[in-house]
Amino acid sequence: LAGPPSPPGQDPHGWRVPVDCVRANELCAAEPSCSSRYRTLRQCLAGRDRNTMLANKECQAALEVLQESPLYDCRCKRGMKKELQCLQIYWSIHLGLTEGEEFYEASPYEPVTSRLSDIFRLASIFSGMDPATNSKSNHCLDAAKACNLNDNCKRLRSGYISTCSKEISAIEHCSRRKCHKALRQFFDRVPSEYTYRLLFCSCKDQACAERRRQTIVPSCSYEDKEKPNCLDLRNMCRTDHLCRSRLADFHTNCQASSQSLTSCPGDNYQACLGSYAGLIAGFDMTPNYVDASTTSITISPWCSCKGSGNMEEECEKFLQDFTENPCLRNAIQAFGNGTDVNLSP
Amino acid sequence: AAFGLYFPRKEYSENVYIDQLAGMPLLRIHALRDSHGEAAHFHLCQNLIISRARSHENHWFQIREKTGLLYLSKSLDREDFNMLSVGNWMPLSKVMLYVFLSSHPFQEKECDSATRTTVFLSLINATAPVCSSLTARQLCFTEMDLSFHIKENKPPGTFHQLQLPSVHHLCQNLSISYKLLAAEGMPFRYNENTTGVSVTQRLDREERERYELIAKCTVREGFREMQVEVPFLVNVLDEDDSPPFLPNGTDTADAVVEFNRKEGTVLATLTVYDADTTPIYPLESSRKKYTGTIITDDPWISETFRVEHIFDEIHFSPNGSQVRGTQHEYKLVLNKSISVTEHRSFQLDVLVNDTEFHGPERSVMLHFNVSILPVSIQFPNMTYQFTVNRNAERFAQIGKICIENCMKFRGVNITYKLLSHNVSCYPVSILQGREDKWGSLYVNDSSVLRRPECKEIQYTIQATDKQSRKHTKTLLTIVLEGTLLKKEEDCPDSCAVSKHHAECEECGGLGVLTGRCQWRQGSGKGITTNYSTCTPSIKTCPDGTCDVIESKDPAVCPQDCTSGNIIGGHGKGTGNVGIKSGHGICYCFPRQNCYCEKDDIKEQLCDDVCKTVI
Whether residue B574 and residue A170 make contact (CB cut-off 8 A), yes or no, is: yes
Task: Answer for the pair A107, A170: CB distance below 8 angstroms, yes or no.
Answer: no
DSSP B332: E
In terms of Cβ atoms closer than 10 Å to its own Cβ (0-12, 13-18, 19+), residue A264 is buried
Q: Which residues of A touch B144 (CB under 8 A)?
A: none
The residue of chain A nearest to residue B82, with distances taken between CA atoms, is A15
Query: pLDDT band at residue B483, thresholds of 50, 70 and 90?
Result: confident
The residue of chain A nearest to residue B113, with distances taken between CA atoms, is A51
Report how far residue A175's alpha carbon sits from residue A222's, in angstroms, rounded to the nearest whole number. 12
- Asked if the model's pLDDT at residue B601 lies above 60, the reply is no
Q: ∠ at Cα B166 (B191, B133), nearest 5°?
A: 110
Pairing of strands B323-334, B456-465: unpaired
Average pLDDT (B415-423) is: 81
Measured N-to-C along each axis, helices A83-97 and A21-29 cross at an angle, to the nearest 10 degrees, of: 80
Query: pLDDT band at residue A8, thresholds of 50, 70 and 90?
Result: very low
Q: ∠ at Cα B177 (B176, B181), nearest 5°?
A: 140
Q: To the nearest 10°, the Cα dihedral for B281, B287, B288, B292?
A: 170
Q: Give strand ranges (E) for B482-530.
A: 518-520, 527-528
DSSP B488: P
CA dihedral (B63, B64, B65, B70) positive or negative: negative
Task: Answer for the pair B290, B328: CB distance below 8 angstroms, yes or no.
Answer: yes
Q: Does B87 touch chain A (CB under 8 A)?
A: yes
Query: pLDDT band at residue B186, thresholds of 50, 70 and 90?
Result: very high
- Asked if the model's pLDDT at residue A246 lies above 90, the reply is yes
Whether residue B53 and residue A93 make contact (CB cut-off 8 A), yes or no, is: yes
Quote the distance between the C-alpha of residue B559 and its chain's center.
35
Nearest to A94 among B53, B324, B573 (CB): B53
Q: In sequence order, what are the beta bridge partners of B479?
A: B387, B456
Whether residue A307 and residue B47 make contact (CB cut-off 8 A), yes or no, is: no
The residue of chain A nearest to residue B276, with distances taken between CA atoms, is A309
- Asked if the model's pLDDT at residue B241 lies above 70, the reply is yes
Average pLDDT (A217-232) is: 93
- Asked if the model's pLDDT at residue B195 lies above 90, the reply is yes
Q: Which of A31-35, A54-58, B117-121 has the lowest mean pLDDT?
A: A54-58
Q: Does B125 touch chain A (CB under 8 A)?
A: no
Pairing of strands B579-583, B344-354: unpaired
Query: pLDDT band at residue A122, thresholds of 50, 70 and 90?
Result: low
Sheet holding B146-151, edge to edge: B146-151, B224-237, B210-221, B175-181
Model ipTM over 0.85? no
pLDDT for the residue B52: 56
Whether residue B90 and residue A266 make contact (CB cut-off 8 A), yes or no, is: yes
Report how far residue B599's alpha carbon sits from residue B586's, in angstroms, rounded to the nearest whole number. 10
Report how far residue B436's alpha carbon sits from residue B429's, in angstroms, rounded to the nearest whole number. 16
Report how far residue A89's alpha carbon sits from residue A74's, in angstroms, rounded to the nearest whole number. 9
Chain B closest-CA separation from residue A97 CA (Å): 5
Q: In sequence order, what are the beta bridge partners of B188?
A: B199
Whether residue B281 and residue A235 make contact (CB cut-off 8 A), yes or no, is: yes
- Asked if the model's pLDDT at residue B421 lies above 90, the reply is no
Most confident of A108-112, A309-313, B454-458: A309-313
Report how far residue B502's alpha carbon sits from residue B481's, in angstroms, rounded to the nearest whole number. 25
Whether residue A266 and residue B313 make contact (CB cut-off 8 A), yes or no, is: no
Whether residue B111 and residue A55 make contact (CB cut-off 8 A), yes or no, is: yes
Task: Answer for the pair A138, A211: CB distance below 8 angstroms, yes or no.
Answer: yes
Mean pLDDT, rounded, of chain B? 89
Query: pLDDT band at residue B608, thresholds of 50, 70 and 90?
Result: low
Q: Express each pLDDT in A55-110 by its tens digit.
A: 677 877 887 778 778 887 788 998 888 999 999 998 887 766 555 557 888 889 98
- Asked if the model's pLDDT at residue B89 lies above 60, the reply is no
Whether residue B53 and residue A13 make contact (CB cut-off 8 A), yes or no, is: no
- Asked if the model's pLDDT at residue B395 lies above 90, the reply is yes
3-state secondary structure of B341: coil
Query: pLDDT band at residue A48, thresholds of 50, 70 and 90?
Result: low
Pairing of strands B570-572, B579-583: antiparallel
Choose, out of A50, A226, A318, A321, the residue to mutate when testing the contact with B (most B CBs < 10 Å).
A50
Measured N-to-C along each axis, helices A206-214 and A139-148 cross at an angle, to the nearest 10 degrees, of: 40
Query: pLDDT band at residue A17, thresholds of 50, 70 and 90?
Result: low
Whether residue A169 and residue B574 make contact (CB cut-off 8 A), yes or no, is: yes
Q: Which residues of B touch A308 (CB under 8 A)?
A: 277, 279-280
Nearest to A13 among B55, B91, B277 (CB): B91
The residue of chain A nearest to residue B313, with distances taken between CA atoms, is A307
Nearest to B279 among A15, A228, A308 (CB): A308
DSSP B110: -
Question: What are the two backbone dihedrals, phi and then psi, of residue A44, each rounded to the nearest 5 degrees?
Answer: -60, -40
Chain A closest-CA separation from residue B441 CA (Å): 26
A110 closest CA partner among A133, A139, A80, A137 = A80
Whether residue B280 and residue A306 make contact (CB cut-off 8 A), yes or no, is: yes
The residue of chain B nearest to residue A258, with distances taken between CA atoms, is B143
- Asked if the model's pLDDT at residue A130 lies above 80, the reply is no
B439 closest CA partner among B410, B412, B417 = B417
Q: What are the residues whose beta carbons fall under 8 Å from the beta carbon of B81, sequence distance 6 or more?
A: B18, B93, B123, B125
Whether residue B574 and residue A167 make contact (CB cut-off 8 A), yes or no, is: yes
Q: Which residues of A touch B143 (CB under 8 A)?
A: 258
Whether residue B112 and residue A55 make contact (CB cut-off 8 A), yes or no, is: yes
Cis before B282 (ω within 30): yes
The residue of chain B nearest to residue A163, with distances taken between CA atoms, is B576
Whether residue A313 and residue B90 make contact (CB cut-off 8 A), yes or no, is: no
Report how far residue B500's alpha carbon sits from residue B521's, in angstroms, rounded to the nearest whole number. 10
DSSP B318: G
Average pLDDT (B217-245) is: 93
Using CA atoms, how far residue B3 sits from A315, B32, B68, B535, in Å, is 22, 11, 19, 74
Distance in angstroms between the alpha carbons of the first and the last residue of chain A? 9
Chain B closest-CA separation from residue A160 CA (Å): 16
Report how far residue B28's alpha carbon sits from residue B64's, in angstroms, rounded to the nearest whole number. 10
Choose, out of A6, A67, A284, the residue to mutate when testing the contact with B (most B CBs < 10 Å).
A67
Choose, out of B52, B143, B151, the residue to mutate when testing the contact with A (most A CBs < 10 Å).
B52
The residue of chain B nearest to residue A315, with distances taken between CA atoms, is B279
The residue of chain B nearest to residue A13, with distances taken between CA atoms, is B91
Query: pLDDT band at residue A302, thresholds of 50, 70 and 90?
Result: very high
Residue type, position B481, single letter? E
- Asked if the model's pLDDT at residue A7 lies above 90, the reply is no
Choose, out of A51, A93, A249, A303, the residue to mutate when testing the contact with B (most B CBs < 10 Å).
A51
Chain B closest-CA separation from residue A74 CA (Å): 10
> Which residues on chain A place their C-beta less than 8 Å from a C-beta of chain B?
11, 13, 15, 51-52, 54-55, 63, 67, 72-73, 93-94, 97-98, 106, 111, 166-170, 228-229, 231-232, 235, 258-259, 265-266, 306-314
Using CA atoms, how far residue B346 sits from B255, B367, B373, in Å, is 10, 10, 12
- Asked if the model's pLDDT at residue B253 lies above 70, the reply is yes
Residue type, position B282, single letter? P
A15 closest CA partner among A7, A23, A4, A25 = A7
Mean pLDDT, rounded, of chain A? 83
Q: Which residues of A touch B89 (CB under 8 A)?
A: 11, 13, 15, 106, 111
CA dihedral (B150, B156, B161, B162) positive or negative: positive
The residue of chain A nearest to residue B152, with distances taken between CA atoms, is A310
Average pLDDT (B74-84) is: 88
Query: pLDDT band at residue A10, thresholds of 50, 70 and 90?
Result: very low
Q: How many CB atoms lie within 10 A of CB B47?
A: 17
Choose, out of A11, A89, A253, A310, the residue to mutate when testing the contact with B (most B CBs < 10 Å).
A310
Nearest to B279 among A51, A52, A309 (CB): A309
Task: Answer for the pair A265, A112: CB distance below 8 angstroms, yes or no.
Answer: no
Q: To the nearest 10°, the Cα dihedral for B14, B20, B24, B26?
A: 0
In terms of Cβ atoms closer than 10 Å to its own Cβ (0-12, 13-18, 19+), residue B281 is buried
Q: What would you report as the CA-atom Rg of chain B, rounded to the nearest whole angstrom?
A: 41
pLDDT for the residue B2: 43
- Asked if the model's pLDDT at residue B53 lies above 80, the reply is no
- Asked if the model's pLDDT at residue B164 lies above 50, the reply is yes
Distance in angstroms between the alpha carbons of the first and the last residue of chain B? 115
The residue of chain B nearest to residue A68, with distances taken between CA atoms, is B54
Using CA atoms, how far residue A198 sits from A192, A203, A294, B385, in Å, is 10, 11, 15, 62
Report how far residue A238's alpha carbon sits from residue B41's, in angstroms, rounded to the nearest whole number. 34
Question: What are the two backbone dihedrals, phi and then psi, of residue A251, each rounded to the nearest 5 degrees?
Answer: -65, -35
Q: Does B526 touch chain A (CB under 8 A)?
A: no
Chain A closest-CA separation from residue B148 CA (Å): 10
Whether residue B575 and residue A166 make contact (CB cut-off 8 A), yes or no, is: no
